[in-house]
Structure 1
Amino acid sequence: MMNRCGLLTPEKEPVPLKSIEVELEVRDHVATVVSTLLYENKEDKPIEAVFVFPLPGDAAVCHFSAVIGQTQIVAEVKEKQQAREEYDDALSSGQQAFLLEESDQSPDIFSLSVGSLPPGESASIRLEYVTELAVQADDGLRFCLPAVLNPRYQPQGRKTSKLSVTSVPASLVPYSLSFSARVSCPRPISTVESSSSLDPLQYLNAEKTQATVNLAAGHKFDRDVELLIYYTDAHQPTAVVEAGQASAKPGTVMGDLMVMLSLYPEFPQAVMSSVASCEEFVFLIDRSGSMGCPTSSSKREETRISSARDTLLLLLKSLPMGCYFNIYSFGSTYEYIFPKSVEYSEKTMEEALKKVEEMTANLGGTAILKPLEHIYSQPCIPNQPRQLFVFTDGGVGNTKEVIDLVKKNSGSHRCFSFGIGEGASTALINDLAKEGGGHAQFITGGDRMQPKVRNSLRFALQPAVQDVSVTWDLPKGVSVTVLSPPITALFQGQRSLVYAQITGQSSEAAEGCVTVKYNLAGHLSQNQLRFSLQPAEDTGLTVHRLGARTLIRSLEIEEREHRGQQVGGLKEKVVELSVQSGVSSSFTAFIAVSKSDGKEIQGPLVRRNIPAPSTPEPPRDPLLQLVSLQKASGCWLLDAALAAALGKTSEEVEKPKPASEVWATVLALIWLHGFKTDAKEEWELLAMKAVSWIHAQNGNSHNNHQDNLYAFNKMSINSSV
């Protein structure tokens, strides 16, 4: 048998990673993840095993240790170059060493090097990280354990990453996965769902505030493991106050109290209903080769590019009259439909849809930087706030450069990002939205893309808030240092997280108050949250580590912005904070060297790269077939195409009433309400546009519409649709 992508050694022995065990603990909307990786060297010579793998982009890696035989080695965080030199020195002197480091180009790619593993020896690696859980369109909290590391596209001329990954068919991945989760929350847990098979949810108390769930036995780690966790009354503002580390110096990030605020702003309904939305919509669609892959392993017939095309159809039909729009697509190169954004009309919509129908996954790599630069070079249209929608299934080799560009232009637009399929870069998708003041969504497993995109369209149609300020009211002698970047974007009912360091002493009964003030369409509004300064129990250092990670990321971005300028000390600040908090950064690495027995490992060291798994158009959805016939104004035409979409003959459709656009539009609305109520969130906006169009017509009486409704209902009873 031939050596297949590094899966087998030259002696046809399997690679040394044998199994992965993951324990997940979720508390409210924060997750602690402990992964144990078991390595075994079955060769007759010492090896160096290198495993490149993804983690969530906002994860704070906070512990790394190894057990060889009866000896445990706990890694330290050190400056990255120093850690690499110590690792190389250990290997050259025949010692066992372990190195965990983050990619220089993307914060969600890590490499684990297991050095000088002797013949016949096993090593158990323990890796721990904490992360926030993102809120999805349906209010579920999303946890994802990435399994698929899509090859990251590196634009020509860019510095390449030292990290590389070997990919093989999923069926040939030799390591197994076991996964268990424990969930707790002050509010009842409604359900836990997954695209993977789960054992039944087990509640641990009568209040249903604690539960456990396991991945079903036999799972092949060939795709991401995604959990969606639903709580009762999820949208409640909360504050978690955590005690500092006993061994840390007071006045430092780890030594003081840390508070994590979860804010859910509620906008005044009177203001929201009075705002008319006229905006510029720019859609950026990934057409790289991987977009031709199935949307998920369970929906082999639907490709990512076909799902993106269908979604664009719904988006274009849902846009309000008077807005402007344009569509870009990209791969190794990029294209656009119009030289600049055009006013939304029947003519421009039809021209765009024709080009969308022709889109295929034929543009090569994933070079997203150039089209973004071109979009930002276009002047904004006065009184038409720019809304950028980005759809991509993969990652890029220059993630940090892309994010820096979006942040630089954050004042001119809002960015809504969508990760399509298993393996999409969490760092790219989340940070596009975070730095662009928008919202991120992931479409995986059996998800339909349209409901999630429609939810983001609702956000985009909300007025942008301005002049956001956060003020604190604390007892005398207590001060606050906010670690999170300033809030620049707020959406109705969507969570905003704030981490802050609390310095000083207060009584046990002391309270704090935080007030968020903002300008919404010219109206001043505010929301308040009062909280106890008494630390919560049993939170460990989770909040401190997430707060430290937030500050580290902000300092890293600032360092890149000022690189080459006479602004020093930022890298040193990151290294100091990373070492102090024990949280990974782009400038540090975890290093562990075993010196227990003093024996050198004999024999030449062999490097083994450990593989990661790799991964015809279906009939058109009847809903999408009907939507495709709607005009930009909101109406439908009474013709043979509409009859076919409704499952009727032209005679059946035209018989009850004479031909008219009003009657055709009423028929379409009745069909939607009668037969597609389960997908209402997908077509609700375009239906509202159709109703508005009907009301705007003259010479069509209310009684005529009632007759139309009665006639179609009768027709529906007599023949199936």
Structure 2
Amino acid sequence: MFTASSGSSSSRPYLGGRNAQYDGLINRKKTKYFHFLQIIGFFLKHLDGSFIMVNCCGLVSEKNVPVPLKSISVQLQVRDHVASVSSSLQYANEEDRPLEAVFIFPLPGDAAVSHFSARIGEQEIVAEVQDKQSARDQYHDAVSSGQQAFLLEESDQSSDVFRLNVGCLSPGQTAIVTIIYIIELSVQADNALRFCLPAVLNPRYTPAASAEPPVPGVSSASVIPYILSLSVDVRSSDRISRLESSCPLDPLQFLNAQHTHATVNLSTGHRFDKDVELLLYYENTHQPTAVVEAGAAAAQTGSLMGDPALMISLYPEFPADVMSSLASQSEFIFVVDRSESMSYKMHHGKDAQKRIESAKDTLLLLLKSLPMGCYFNIYGFGSRFECFFPQSVVYSEVTMEAALRRVKCMNADMGGTEILWPLKHIYSQPCYPDHPRQLFVFTDGEVWNTKKVLDLVKSHVDSHRCFSFGIGEGASTALVTGMAREGSGHAQFITGTDRMQPKVMQSLRFALQPAVDNISVDWTVPEGVTVDMLSPPINALFQGQRALIYAQIKGQSSGETEGAVTVKYKLKDQPVTNQLQFTLKPVEDTGLTIHRLAARSVIRSLELQERAGGADMENIRSRIVELSVQAGVSSVHTAFIGVNKDSRQTVKGPLLQRRVPTRSMMIGGPMPRWGTAPLITLGAAGCFTMPVQQQSAVCAPSAKRRMVFQSTDSSVMDAFASASHQAEPELQKDPVLQLVSLQKAVGCWELNAALADVFGKTEDEVTNQKPAQVDGSVWATVLALIWLYVYKLDQQVEWQFVAVKAASWIRSQKPDGLSQCVCEGNLLLGSQVTEDTLGI
């Protein structure tokens, strides 16, 4: 991890990529859809309604000359918790004929695209937002008549995938396309604000039976023939502590004595072959803030863009004594992506672990860390899905060991990525009373129906909480962050050389901690002024979760210039009140950032209502288009269209359209076919498997009845036992994982040779040092705790719950001679720790 001393942040315009997949044939009178990939996008070659694939890699012409993207320049402006990103992309037509290119590229799922323009020579074309179908018609008419045109639109299936059409570039002509978008920076478990500029867009798996067009993807960026320039400007009401990046940065430059304004650049010559991740740290992260922004001068008073807008940032820090009390009455369901892409390595470095292997190690830690008294289950999914148990089972030594044997057998062998069906199956299962259900979803984020998945998660947020983990570069931000947002959980991304285990265990701590509920927001403003909430209500707020509240200020006050917002909530049934003062004097020079983010929030809520269906669909759609056009931000029903109507000459001759695939087309491969398989089968490995085509039957009440088994059903345990010869646990290479793998569900360790080997001792050495009055398991458990605290303290986030269980078990035994036990353990392991340090 590279650090820009004391601060630094990053941006992310993305246009990095390389693969692409065609999403439909082009009809002259209808909408032309090519799905090429942006940075290494595909070119299509049209021949009598069919397309011929040219077996080349990268973005090249028929003569293997790189075209047409030449460079990417990004400027990132961070203001407290939000950022504005400006990306300039230079394209050149090096063909000897006119060119039309279409690129698919990623943007953050919650981005508000607010500007799109193109410069051809001295001519600048600024696009405007229009109804999507009107924009498409205008684009096709312009291209058909030989005019230069540009079209930018959001994918219907996922809000983090955009399509850019560059039409009618003359031979030798260069175009510079500029895209500006605004985003909320996500908060990480260590309080950092994260910004990521993806270098790749992974292909989104589309089932063969689906009527939806496939979303193309991109593969390794190592062949990209250009470099990325990135500059970052950070302004904050809080002091900037530091900025870290996955890529080399120039030294951070502070521009004032208060350290609230700083700039930094990506080091010169950076090759855009991996995601650029920036982590920004402030000194007082939990300090609430309020910013009032003046409306647009040209906008009508009373409209969303005409009146002042307010953004409140709430990131509460809860009392340590409350957060230290961990709940055991929960149900945990771990949902693991087992599509073929999970066989890819975590990063490009030496000895990089495969994604599926890292997920298996993480499951080991999770299963060992669960509290006694909870329920759990594990799902694997791809083109089909399977669950370890027909319904969640009580956590015990028997069920934990059965699950671990199955985890050892897991492979990335389940085809494509279809997460909707296992989620539907989970949500169809009745919850256990007084055991809130918590989902941990692991995926490399390559699904095609993101919006349907998010709608499903949101519809069950009252009974299910969702933690999501994006694995590897190119994971869909819309999917990973969206599931956590709609499921009132927390999202984590594991990229580069990040280890999965510490991030997942941080989320487990959040899952075990109490949540804030009964949240209310009240406004105190002068007479003549009112405040209208634009954000949806906050139902729950957890440790490590930030909320940004958008509101609109209407009316005017004759005298007073101050207002206040009071946020009330309950934490473990204790009432808490926080009040924040703000000025009614708006900030003028903001570029309408807050207004546009507020408009985006309202638009997303309306889109969710529209997808839910109802009688008012047409009015909702009209309102979305109205807000999108008024605010100048993207939506699913609008697009940015720019046409060079002032060009003195039109392009003559037919346009070249190409498709140049990269080495791999769809990561998931073809969708497996099934015959008349039974609804649910208990496989040889003891897991319940279901083809996704039969999911609809699963949700029927009769199907549910067929799936219910008692958690103690011996046939289930026998099935796992019969598979154990295929899945005998192997000793972990990582010493911590090796030690954890030996722990019992109740929290203790047994005194044996495998444990002694972790300490670098023989079994006789460990046994002979044991105090006579101390039980072997107590001695072994004390030694394990000492070893963790002395030699693996830097990995405490990973083993914290393992240690909590161990200490709790020791206390429950009330052993004699515990002080002597710790003393002898220190002698054996060459350490000096106290009983208080060990928590015993």
Q: TM-score, normalised by structure 1?
A: 0.95
Amino acid at match of 1:46: P
Indicate which of 536, 543, 546 corresponds to 2:587: 536
Aligned equivalent of 2:423: 372
Aligned equivalent of 1:605: 655
Structure 2 residue 735 is the aligned partner of structure 1 residue 622: yes
Whether the 8 Å contact between 2:382 and 2:419 is mirrored in structure 1 is: yes
Whether the 8 Å contact between 1:418 and 1:441 is mirrored in structure 2 is: yes
Aligned equivalent of 1:130: 182
Amino acid at match of 2:555: G
1:685 shift after superposition: 1.8
Structure 2 residue 398 is the aligned partner of structure 1 residue 347: yes
Aligned equivalent of 1:515: 566
Indicate which of 691, 705, 715 corresponds to 2:807: 691
The CA deviation string for residues 123-158 of structure 1, in whole angstroms up to 9 with x for no partner, is 111110010111101111100112210000113433
Distance 2:188 2:174 in 1: 41
1:509 shift after superposition: 5.0
1:593 shift after superposition: 0.4
Percent identity between the aligned chains?
Answer: 61
Amino acid at match of 2:801: L
Aligned equivalent of 2:638: 588
Aligned equivalent of 1:472: 523
Indicate which of 105, 113, 116 corresponds to 2:165: 113
1:48 shift after superposition: 0.4
Distance 1:520 1:283 in 2: 27
Once the two structures are overlaid, the 10-residue window that deviates more, 31-40 or 170-179, is 170-179
Once the two structures are overlaid, the 10-residue window that deviates more, 11-20 or 325-334, is 11-20
Indicate which of 93, 101, 107 corresponds to 1:49: 101
Note the 1:252-267 alignment, pairs <5 A. 252-267=303-318
Distance 1:101 1:618 in 2: 51
Cα distance change on mapping 1:324 and 1:162 into 2, 3 Å = closer
Aligned residues: 714
1:207 shift after superposition: 2.5
Amino acid at match of 1:195: S
Distance 1:151 1:388 in 2: 25
Cα distance change on mapping 1:85 and 1:6 into 2, 3 Å = farther
Note the 1:114-263 alignment, pairs <5 A. 114-161=166-213, 164-165=216-217, 167-263=218-314
- Structure 2 unaligned runs (5+)? 1-52, 668-729, 834-840
Structure 2 residue 121 is the aligned partner of structure 1 residue 8: no
> What secondary structure is seen at the aligned counterpart in 2 of 1:84?
helix
Distance 2:541 2:137 in 1: 45
Aligned equivalent of 1:662: 778
Cα distance change on mapping 1:300 and 1:223 into 2, 3 Å = farther
RMSD: 2.2
1:618 shift after superposition: 12
Distance 2:588 2:746 in 1: 57
> What secondary structure is seen at the aligned counterpart in 1 of 2:468?
strand
Amino acid at match of 1:413: H
1:34 shift after superposition: 0.5
Structure 2 residue 488 is the aligned partner of structure 1 residue 434: no
Once the two structures are overlaid, the 10-residue window that deviates more, 567-576 or 83-92, is 567-576
Structure 2 residue 481 is the aligned partner of structure 1 residue 481: no
The CA deviation string for residues 482-533 of structure 1, in whole angstroms up to 9 with x for no partner, is 1111112211353111111111113675222222223333333332222222
Cα distance change on mapping 1:282 and 1:649 into 2, 3 Å = same
Once the two structures are overlaid, the 10-residue window that deviates more, 186-195 or 235-244, is 186-195
Aligned equivalent of 2:555: 504
Amino acid at match of 1:317: K
Distance 1:475 1:503 in 2: 11
Distance 1:304 1:610 in 2: 28
Amino acid at match of 1:35: S
Whether the 8 Å contact between 2:135 and 2:639 is mirrored in structure 1 is: yes
Once the two structures are overlaid, the 10-residue window that deviates more, 211-220 or 632-641, is 211-220
Amino acid at match of 2:571: L
1:555 shift after superposition: 0.5
1:704 shift after superposition: 3.0
Once the two structures are overlaid, the 10-residue window that deviates more, 535-544 or 248-257, is 535-544
Whether the 8 Å contact between 1:13 and 1:43 is mirrored in structure 2 is: no
Distance 1:458 1:24 in 2: 33
Once the two structures are overlaid, the 10-residue window that deviates more, 80-89 or 303-312, is 303-312
Amino acid at match of 2:286: H
Distance 1:707 1:117 in 2: 79
Amino acid at match of 1:373: K
Indicate which of 287, 294, 301 corresponds to 2:352: 301
Aligned equivalent of 1:277: 328
Indicate which of 625, 630, 633 corresponds to 2:746: 633
Whether the 8 Å contact between 1:173 and 1:613 is mirrored in structure 2 is: no
Cα distance change on mapping 1:618 and 1:500 into 2, 3 Å = farther
Whether the 8 Å contact between 2:516 and 2:569 is mirrored in structure 1 is: yes
Cα distance change on mapping 1:715 and 1:83 into 2, 3 Å = closer
1:38 shift after superposition: 0.5
Aligned equivalent of 1:288: 339
Note the 1:16-35 alignment, pairs <5 A. 16-35=68-87
Distance 1:162 1:593 in 2: 28
Whether the 8 Å contact between 1:5 and 1:168 is mirrored in structure 2 is: no
Distance 2:305 2:374 in 1: 49
Distance 2:184 2:479 in 1: 16
Note the 1:307-322 alignment, pairs <5 A. 307-322=358-373
Aligned equivalent of 1:85: 137
Distance 1:301 1:234 in 2: 33
Distance 2:559 2:247 in 1: 45
Whether the 8 Å contact between 2:202 and 2:219 is mirrored in structure 1 is: no
- Structure 1 unaligned runs (5+)? none
Aligned equivalent of 1:444: 495
Distance 1:162 1:276 in 2: 43
The CA deviation string for residues 181-211 of structure 1, in whole angstroms up to 9 with x for no partner, is 1122222222211112222222223332222
Indicate which of 387, 398, 407 corresponds to 1:356: 407
Structure 2 residue 733 is the aligned partner of structure 1 residue 682: no
Once the two structures are overlaid, the 10-residue window that deviates more, 122-131 or 354-363, is 354-363
Aligned equivalent of 2:148: 96
Distance 2:458 2:804 in 1: 34
Aligned equivalent of 1:571: 621
> What secondary structure is seen at the aligned counterpart in 2 of 1:428?
helix
Distance 1:48 1:342 in 2: 57
Q: Greater share of strand residues, 1 or 2?
A: 1
Whether the 8 Å contact between 2:732 and 2:738 is mirrored in structure 1 is: no
Whether the 8 Å contact between 1:299 and 1:446 is mirrored in structure 2 is: no
> What secondary structure is seen at the aligned counterpart in 2 of 1:245?
coil
Whether the 8 Å contact between 1:240 and 1:261 is mirrored in structure 2 is: yes
> What secondary structure is seen at the aligned counterpart in 2 of 1:295?
coil
Once the two structures are overlaid, the 10-residue window that deviates more, 655-664 or 119-128, is 655-664
Distance 1:58 1:574 in 2: 16
Whether the 8 Å contact between 2:89 and 2:176 is mirrored in structure 1 is: yes
Amino acid at match of 1:95: Q
Amino acid at match of 2:380: S
Distance 2:141 2:419 in 1: 39
The CA deviation string for residues 62-119 of structure 1, in whole angstroms up to 9 with x for no partner, is 0000111111110010000000000000011110000001001000000111100011
Amino acid at match of 1:396: V
Indicate which of 107, 111, 120 corresponds to 1:59: 111
Cα distance change on mapping 1:49 and 1:631 into 2, 3 Å = same
Aligned equivalent of 2:18: none
Amino acid at match of 2:190: D
Whether the 8 Å contact between 1:512 and 1:530 is mirrored in structure 2 is: yes
> What secondary structure is seen at the aligned counterpart in 1 of 2:138?
helix
Cα distance change on mapping 1:44 and 1:272 into 2, 3 Å = closer
> What secondary structure is seen at the aligned counterpart in 2 of 1:13?
coil
Distance 2:182 2:431 in 1: 39
